[in-house]
Amino acid sequence: MSLVCVYSGSVHGVEAVPVEVEVNSGEAGKLDIKLVGLPDAAVRESIDRVITAIRNSGLRWPNTPITINLAPADLRKEGPSFDLPIAIGMVSLAPDRNGALTDGALQKCAMVGELALDGRLRAIKGALPVALQARQQGLRALIVPKENAVEASIVEGIYVYGVETLLDAYRLLAGDGHIKPEKLDRDAFFRTKQQYSIDFSEVKGQLHTKRALEVAMAGGHNILMLGSPGTGKSMLAKRLVTILPPMTEEEAIETTKIHSVAGLIDGKGGFVATRPFRSPHHTISDVGLLGGSSMPSPGEVSLAHNGILFLDELPEFRRSTLEVLRQPLEDGQVTISRAAGKFTFPSRFSLVAAMNPCPCGYLGDPARECRCSPGQIEKYRQRISGPLLDRIDLHVEVPAIDYRELRSKAVGETSEVIRERVTAARAIQLARFASNPGVLCNADMGSRLLAKHCVLDATSERTLEQAMDALHLSARAHDRILKVARTLADLDGDMSIRETHVLEAIQYRSLDRSLWN
């Protein structure tokens, strides 16, 4: 046989596209290996790795000119994951020297993997998207490096074989049955992964702040915490993922795909079953936050998909960097255009931000004196743009904890108890918005849904009107109050918004007056 086709896959964005590795052996002549099909540098270098790995594995390839085509030819190929299919294609052209493959072996499976010079297989990025694509193609099996086997075996309906060497992969295709497909009890594996090492009960005091954070998570609202250093803002933020509803299997696979493409999945875990918490440093670049580079990879906003993006010291972030948050906050996804193509990454997350009240951090602190001038305070606060602030529904002040609260033996509510209330409120919202694609929670409501689901009685209407006049609240604050009031009603299991809900929602907008108006 002078032509073989090996199925593989290439990751673009967070999805994989099928790639056929065609290997053709020409007429006898000077040994020459050509690689075509728009490969990048890493793929072009694979020829030297593949030849050495084949030789060190005790396998052989035809001593004739060889042409390797990565189809489709107009799709740019990157990374070392084509090493294995290229090597298998080359050695399968010499069955008399290596042993024949079983009939149709290459037509039934796909494969990916990077080769070491001694023939070992190294882990690759994006094994999960490739497995999903292989199943969609109707293939029966997928061969991956051993370290990627657990990750890929999450996909039902396809056999996943984790192999350690090139020789093992070839023997598997030749019918050697000593390598078995990866077996995974998906339900048990999923349950064991849904555990957190931290809990809300570990936070002393801060009952008002905890309540605001529960409301934010129940309605999918973004929240800004403001307080002096040491009041527990970061500690509270890290525990927010523990009160969000458990991830569904669909959400877990979607999140794992993103982390797999970014190379953040290790061989032991292989799966993201708990909601991600991402806390980038304020020196992060636009590309680091949004995603990008010449072949775009996910940024922090996508790595936080289905979880929490925490921005500590919010005014310290570059204003231009914060501005790139507007698209993912509005659309729940990020679209990046580069010469290599247009890539879309999902980025539906809850934004949780924290900041000091002034540059020194002690404005309003009862124990320490603030030494900032009014001009310094104003300049500090203006680092946060109006458009970004528009997308933050709740502002909550985080006071200092006194000694008695800190040393108290009392144990607060556990994350499990709070999570049950949040999950119940989210279930109400999912049912409410079932006929509105893309709307999953109260924070997603537009003007039409706001008018339909946030109807106020006469008493609540008067209360909101008085607050708008007395506090000089803006139109955007009006809409945010209604959304938060709707969430408060859902937490109470009320079909209608009551005055108490409106009053509590107004409390979470007091910073509009004290900081930005």
* Neighbouring-strand partners of residue 35: 68
Question: In which band, very low, low, confident or very high, does the pLDDT at 513 lie, cut at 50, 70 and 90?
Answer: low
Average pLDDT, the chain: 89
Q: Is the pLDDT of residue 384 over 70?
A: yes
497 DSSP 8-state letter:
B
Q: Are 427 and 433 in contact (CB under 8 A)?
A: no
Segment (H or E) for 20: strand 15-25
| Residue 86 DSSP SS3 | helix
CATH pick for 3-173 out of 3.40.50.720, 3.30.420.40, 2.60.40.420, 3.30.230.10: 3.30.230.10
| The two domains 3-173 and 193-444 share their CATH topology (first three levels equal) | no
Q: How many residues does this entry show for the chain?
A: 517
Which residue's structure tokens are 């399968």?
A: 92
Query: Residue 201 corresponds to which tokens in the numbers above?
Result: 């009960």
Which residue's structure tokens are 């967070």?
A: 14
Give me the mean pLDDT over the 80-107 stretch.
Answer: 88
Look at residue 1 in the predicted model and tell me its pLDDT. 55
Q: Is the pLDDT of residue 223 over 60?
A: yes
Q: Is the pLDDT of residue 375 over 70?
A: yes
Segment (H or E) for 211: helix 207-219
Q: Is the pLDDT of residue 168 over 90?
A: yes
How far is it, in rounded angstroms, from Cα 46 to Cα 83?
6
Classify 37 in phi/psi space as left (phi over 0), alpha (psi -120 to 50) or beta.
Answer: left
Q: Bigger pLDDT: 156 or 513?
A: 156
Order across the sheet with 350-355: list the strands. 277-278, 308-311, 350-355, 223-226, 394-397
How far is it, in rounded angstroms, from Cα 174 to Cα 156?
25
Q: Bigger pLDDT: 272 or 161?
A: 161
The CATH number of domain 193-444 is 3.40.50.300: yes
Q: Bigger pLDDT: 45 or 481?
A: 481
The string of pLDDT tens digits covering residues 297-328 is: 899 999 999 999 999 999 999 988 888 888 89
How far is it, in rounded angstroms, from Cα 214 to Cα 453?
21
How far is it, in rounded angstroms, from Cα 95 to Cα 60?
9
Task: Using alpha carbons, select from 327, 323, 261 the residue that is nearest to residue 128.
Answer: 261
Segment (H or E) for 143: strand 141-145
* Neighbouring-strand partners of residue 11: 16
First to last CA, the chain: 77
Give me the mean pLDDT over the 188-213 stretch.
Answer: 86
Strands (E), 72-130: 109-111, 114-115, 121-122
Look at residue 517 in the predicted model and tell me its pLDDT. 43
Whether the ω angle into residue 80 lies within 30 degrees of 0, i.e. cis, is no
Question: In which band, very low, low, confident or very high, does the pLDDT at 510 lie, cut at 50, 70 and 90?
Answer: low
CA 147 remoteness from chain centre: 21
Segment (H or E) for 453: helix 447-453
Look at residue 287 in the predicted model and tell me its pLDDT. 87
Q: Is the pLDDT of residue 192 over 80?
A: no
Q: Note the helical H segments in 262-325.
A: 286-290, 300-303, 319-323
Going from N- to C-terminal start, the domains of the chain cover 3-173, 193-444
